[in-house]
Amino acid sequence: MIRVAFIGQQGHAGIGLGSVSETDDAEVGGFAPVQPEEMLGALEQWRQELGEVPAYQNYQELIEKQKPDLVQVSGAFYRNGVVAEYAAAHGCNVLVEKPVSTTLDLLEKLKEVVVRGGVRLTAMLTARFEPTFITAKKAVASGAIGEPLLVSAQKSYRFGKSRPAYFRQRKTYGGTIPWVGIHAIDWLHWLLDDPFARVTALHGNFNLEDYPGCEDAAAMLFELRNGGAALVSADYLRPSGASSHGDDRLRIAGSAGVLELMNGRVSLIDAGGERELPLEQPKDNVFTSFVRCLARGTEHPSGRMDAFRVTEVALKARDAADTGQPVSLLDSAYSVS
């Protein structure tokens, strides 16, 4: 039985909060906010989701009292790495919001703590549990497109009327490449087995006057280890009149075929023609998969270093955009999965 503690209610926190009741492998130890002042608004919502389980004003107390096996961390983005480090240092496995950290320094410290503690850390890399990406992964792995050579990936969101206050500043938000672009980076990491060799990038805030630290457009050019290329964009420019919140797209052109993901569908073109692929259905979400992995040793689709590596690539792409200079992605300390 995996004893779970929930810290924070931001981002993808709902994944664990909403599915913990569905697994027999987990019990809820309690919950806490990332910062005590968030407790007031959060308590009622937590109780609705989890029932009458222990609530703590601060996460340190939650961890020390409940000694959870697993902590889900999902607060303001700049705090997640700090909380994850505290949890790992206290022997907890960690499911943390992506990016795992908003700075490379903390990422390195966090990795050391996780490795030293013999715990496991995974991140909310949600595509690995979506039918479209599972289907795409299987097709690429089966050799359906041959050697992947040219990739285009798009993340496009509506910004909406407002976002939490920590979106306003780089220091608390982290950047649109680490927050939004990281999903597309993860698609490439997962489907193409950490293909990244080098990145050049651009980003800017054009439209979001009240959120000066939040870039609304970002573009990245990745050189791949096999000599190929990936073009990746992330934006908040999807108009309010769009029919959906997000517009995820992925096209991988290979030596023997083109795979495409768009509008919730996956299609393949090869020498035999064009066709839509039947969608594979996930058995789990990232939370229930990780719980089962910890409880029963079953497979979890992110390796031990994947969340670190994907975060590293995102933060270095952000650096490339900040400086206008290409950044090498080879010789990573996080490449072994």
Q: Which whole-number Å values give the CA distances from 4 to 44, 85, 239, 325, in the listed order?
A: 19, 16, 39, 42
CB-count exposure of residue 161 (10 Å: 0-12, 13-18, 19+): exposed
Tally of residues, the chain: 337
Helix (H) or strand (E) holding 275: strand 273-276
Among 43, 55, 89, 269, the residue binding a copy of itself under the rule CB under 8 A is 269
Q: Which of 27/319 has CB closer to a copy of itself?
A: 319
Nearer to a copy of itself, 115 or 258 (CB): 258
8 Å CB contact between 192 and 147: no
Q: Write out the binding residues for a copy of itself, residues 38-57 only, by CB under 8 A.
A: none
Contacts of residue 35, Cβ cutoff 8 Å, sequence gap at least 6 = 75, 76, 79
Residues 189-248 that bind a copy of itself (CB under 8 A): 200-204, 206-207, 216-221, 223, 227-233, 235, 237-243
Per DSSP, the residues of 268-330 read EEETTEEEEPPPPPPS--HHHHHHHHHHH----SS-TTHHHHHHHHHHHHHHHHHHSS-EE--
Instruction: Please pick, from the candidates 256, 330, 333, 336, the single residue that binds a copy of itself as defined by CB under 8 A.
Output: 256
Q: Closest approach of Cβ 216 to a copy of itself, in Å? A: 8
Kindly state the smallest distance separating residue 5's Cβ from a copy of itself, in Å.
40
Q: Is 267 in the site for a copy of itself (CB under 8 A)?
A: no
Q: Are the beta carbons of 11 and 97 closer than 8 angstroms? A: yes
Nearer to a copy of itself, 123 or 220 (CB): 220
**Judged by CB under 8 A, how many residues of this single chain contact a copy of itself?**
50
Task: List CB contacts of 47: < 8 A, sequence separation 6 or more.
Answer: 55
Of 93, 335, 324, residue with least CA distance to 219: 324
| Residue with Cβ nearer a copy of itself (115 or 219) | 219
Gyration radius of the chain's alpha carbons: 20
319 scored as a contact of a copy of itself (CB under 8 A): no
CB of 247 to a copy of itself, least distance (A): 8
How far apart are CB 191 and a copy of itself at their closest, in Å?
16
Minimal distance, residue 224 CB to a copy of itself, in Å: 9
H-helix segments, 224-283: none
- Within residues 151-190, the interface with a copy of itself by CB under 8 A covers 152, 154, 156
Is 118 or 272 the residue whose CB approaches a copy of itself more closely?
A: 272
Q: Enumerate binding residues for a copy of itself (CB under 8 A).
A: 147, 149-150, 152, 154, 156, 200-204, 206-207, 216-221, 223, 227-233, 235, 237-243, 251, 253-258, 269-274, 324, 326
